[in-house]
Structure 1
Amino acid sequence: MKNSAFNKILSYFFRGILFVAPIAFTIMVFQAVFVWLDGLLPFNIPGLGVIILITGIVGIGYLASTYFMKPFIELFDQFINKIPLLSLIYNSIKDLIGAFVGEKRKFNKPVMVQFDTLGKILKPGFITQDDLEKLKLPGHCSVYLPHSYNFSGNILIVSNDLIKPWEINGTTAMKFIVSGGVTGMDEM
């Protein structure tokens, strides 16, 4: 009898942890970002740092999208590309962010890569290049396979006959993959 009550209490405890931990962690991260941003200002008005940051990013985005700024952006990119280590970091971050947002999104072609001859083992991913003939790999494509619960993944060169289209949108596919197959099922 006591063991049964203890197991129920333990079960409730773990359910509580599943509910409270993500909320608490999210609040802690946002609070740390708010405090850090507000600490950058010489005066103490809570939340002003975040408002300034968001306003600044929107303003820079607006300016960057104007015809007038395009030559300056290209000039800046050319300057960065002349500095070896800096260009590697800058372009990698720019490409990664551009893959998720902007006009040139890359993770919009979800696919399943077949890993066995019977087609019973599939790995979800995203086509990043449809045709690799310029790399002397005709009939192949590059597929990015994100890792679950991580900001990393693998790029595979795959024969086109091992690729099966996955008929869902890219955002839903990414949620499904990154969550380890837990999130995104309602949207499919």
Structure 2
Amino acid sequence: MRQKIFTKIASYFFRGLLFVAPIAFTILVIQAVFNWLDGLLPVNVPGLGILILISAIVGVGYLGSTYFMKPFFEMFEQVIKKIPLLSLIYNSIKDLVGAFVGDKKKFNEPIMVQFDEAGKIFKPGFITRTDLSKVNMEGFCSVYMPHSYNFSGNILVVKNELVHPWDVNSTDAMKFIVSGGVSGIEEM
């Protein structure tokens, strides 16, 4: 009898944990990011720092879009490109951010790469370059394969005939990959 009651309580506990843990961690992450962003500016009013930061980013985005300021931003980038270490850091961050937002998004073509001759093993990823002929690799493409439960991945150079289109939304494909196949299926 006691064993049955303990098992029932443990079952309810784990079921509750499955509900509460994701909510709690999401709130903690949002709170940590908010506090970090808000703390970037030394303002003692909670939320004002992040509001100023967002306003400044929108303002810089607007100025960067105007015909008058574009040459100044381009000149700034040319100066940055001439400084060796700074250029590497700046361009890497710019390319990473540009891969997810802006006009030149890179992870918008989900695919499956065939890993065996029989066509029974596939790995999902995203095409990043369809043509590698400039680096003497005709008939190859570059594929980014994100890791599950991680902010990392691998870039593979793959023969074109091993790459199969995956007719799903790129956001749902990324959700599916990053979650280890647990999420994203319902949306597909």
Partner of 1:47: 47
**CA contact under 8 A between 2:140 and 2:160: conserved in structure 1?**
yes
- TM-score of the pair, normalised by structure 2: 0.92
CA offset at residue 115 of structure 1? Answer: 0.4
Residue correspondence of structure 1 range 33-182 to structure 2 within 5 A: 33-182=33-182
Single out whichever of 109-118 and 47-56 deviates more from structure 2. 47-56
Q: How far 1:30 moved relative to its partner?
A: 2.5
Q: For residue 23 of structure 1, what is the aligned residue in structure 2?
A: 23
Give SS of 1:24's match.
helix
1:186 corresponds to: 186
Measure, in 2, the Cα distance between the counterparts of 1:175 and 1:149: 10
Secondary structure of the 2:66 match is coil
Give the direction of change, closer, same or farther, for the CA distance of 1:177–1:74 in structure 2 (3 Å limit): same
2:122 alignment partner AA: L
Deviation at 1:26, TM superposition (A): 2.1
- TM-score, length of structure 1 as denominator length: 0.92
User: Structure 1 residues 37, 116: closer, same or farther in 2, change over 3 A?
Assistant: closer
* Aligned-pair CA distance for 1:104: 0.2
Mapped contact 1:37–1:50 kept (Cα < 8 A): yes
Distance 1:139 1:104 in 2: 23
- One-letter amino acid matched to 1:135: V
Among all aligned residue pairs of Structure 1 and Structure 2, give the percentage whose two residues are the same amino acid: 72
Deviates more, 1:75-84 or 1:91-100: 75-84
1:55 aligned partner, one-letter code: S
**Which sections of structure 2, spanning at least 5 residues, go unmatched?**
none
> Per-residue deviation at 1:46?
1.9
Q: What amino acid does structure 2 have at the position aligned with 1:19? A: F
How large is the Cα RMSD of the aligned pairs? Answer: 1.6
Q: Is the 8 A contact 2:110 2:167 kept in 1?
A: yes
Structure 2 counterpart of 1:130, one-letter code: T
Structure 1 residue runs without a partner (length 5+): none
List per-residue Cα deviations over 1:104-136 (Å, max 9, x = no partner): 001011000000111111000000000111111
Shift of 1:43: 4.5
The answer to whether the 8 Å contact 1:38/1:45 transfers is no
- The one-letter amino acid paired with 1:186 is E
Q: Is the 8 A contact 2:43 2:49 kept in 1?
A: no
Equivalent pair of 2:42/2:49 in contact (CA under 8 Å) = no
Residue identity opposite 1:97 in structure 2: V
